[in-house]
Structures are given as structure tokens and as C-alpha cells.
Structure 1
Amino acid sequence: MINMAVRGESRNVVARANAGVEWTAGFADLDPAEFPMLWALTPYGDAVFNQRQVPLLLAELDRLPAGLGGD
């Protein structure tokens, strides 16, 4: 599972969640033009999404192929 933490401006964690998508090396094979947010993720680093990027990330998760944990 992908662990997520949302931090406020003071860097305090304001929310935590485990996303329902298992990490897979297949994310690296996604088309970066179609999935720029997911394509850029790595299993070893933290990712930060700003308020303008979150809707893009959610839309990508909705389009994720079944072989990578989508519908």
C-alpha cells in the first residue's frame, strides 16, 4: 500500500491514509504524457503535491489501468 501523510504549512501531519494502490514497478512504464504525477513517483522517496496538483493526481488514479491497481 502507498502510505500518505498530509502536512499543513507548519509541517505538522494533519491527515494520514493508506491508499488502495499497491506500489508496482509498472508505474515507471506509464506514459509520462498521460500520467505525469504517477510516472514521477519512486518507491524510495517522498512526494509532495501542491493543491493544484492533487486534482491531477486523483484523475490519474481514476484512469489507472487494471493491471496496476485501477478498476
Structure 2
Amino acid sequence: MISIQVREETGDIVAHGSSQLDWMTTLQHVDADRFPFLGSLLPYADTMFNSRQTVRLRQELADRSVRELLGQDTAAEIEALCLQVERTSHLYLWFLGD
């Protein structure tokens, strides 16, 4: 499982995602060439995106095949967390692997 958080640059947690998705299974179906940001997520490692990268991540989430793979609720939650990062300085979106 991968959990999702928005953190300040100090590491303080600002927001938590609530989606529980089996990323090991899901990530097997992500075309990393077509979706490089989602394709860079690893089920057993941490990945951080800055505000410029979250813009690109949101573009990937707009693809219908990605929304079907992740589920509408999960995709919408990740988009909302991306927007939170983009609207405030010094925030980062973290995907935390098990």
C-alpha cells in the first residue's frame, strides 16, 4: 500500500490522503513511457513531487484510462492534494511506500 501526504519543506504533515489502493497491482498496469510521473511511483519507496511536478501529475490523472485504473475517487483525491501543493509555497506531495 502507498499512502499519500502533503508536507511542508520541514517535513510537517499538512494533509493525508484517505485512499487505500493496492499500488503493487495498480502500478503494474501503468505505462511509464506514457505516464512518467505515475510510472515513477514505487510500491516500496517514497516519491516526492514539487508544485511544478504536480501540474504534470494532474495532466496524467486527466486521462480516462488512468482514472479507470485508479478509480474516480482516488484520482480526484490525488488531484485535490496536487492543487493544495500548487496553491501554497513550500509544500510537496509525498507517496509513501510500505
Question: Of Structure 1 and Structure 2, which has the larger fraction of its residues in strand?
Answer: 2
* Counterpart for residue 55 of structure 2: 55
Is residue 5 from structure 1 mapped to residue 43 from structure 2 by the alignment?
A: no
Q: Residue type of the partner of 2:59? A: A
**Matching of residues 1-71 of structure 1 within 5 Å:** 2-19=2-19, 22-63=22-63, 64=66, 66=68, 68-70=69-71
Identical columns (%)? 36
Cα shift at 1:59: 1.5
Q: Which has the higher relative contact order, 1 or 2, with Cα contacts under 8 A spaced 6 or more apart?
A: 2
By percentage of residues, which structure has more helix?
Answer: 2
Gaps of 5+ in 1: none
RMSD (Å) for aligned C-alpha atoms: 2.3
Question: Deviation above 6 Å: which 4+ runs of structure 1?
Answer: none
Q: Give the TM-score normalised by the residue count of structure 2.
A: 0.56
Q: Measure how far apart 1:11 and its partner are.
A: 1.1
